Amino acid sequence: MKNQTIPAMTILALMTAGLFSTAAHADKHSALDVCVASAMEMHPGEIVSLRAEMEDKNHQFELDIKGDDGKSWEVECDSKSGKVLEVEREVAADDKEFTSQAKVRLDAALKTALDAYPGAVMKIEYEIEEDGKPSYEFDIKSKDGQILEVEVDAISGELKPVEKVLYEIGGE
- Give buried/exposed letters for 114-141 (b at 16+ CB in 10 A, else e): eeebebeeeeebbbbbeeebbbbbbbbb
Query: Does residue 171 lie within any of the structural domains?
Result: no
The domain that contains 60 carries what CATH number?
3.10.450.40
Among 58, 89, 120, residue at a domain's last position: 89
- Same domain? For 76 and 126 the reply is no
Residues 6+ apart with CB under 8 A from 88: 73, 74, 127, 128, 129, 130, 135, 137
- Rounded-to-integer distance, Cα 151 and Cα 147, Å: 13
What are the pLDDT digits (tens) for 60-101? 999 999 999 999 999 999 999 999 999 999 999 999 999 999
- pLDDT tens across 8-44, in order? 555 554 444 443 444 444 444 589 999 999 999 999 9
Owning domain of residue 51: 8-89
The closest of 93, 106, 36 to 64, measured between CA atoms, is: 36
Q: How many domains does the chain have?
A: 2
Whether this prediction's pTM lies above 0.85 is answered by no
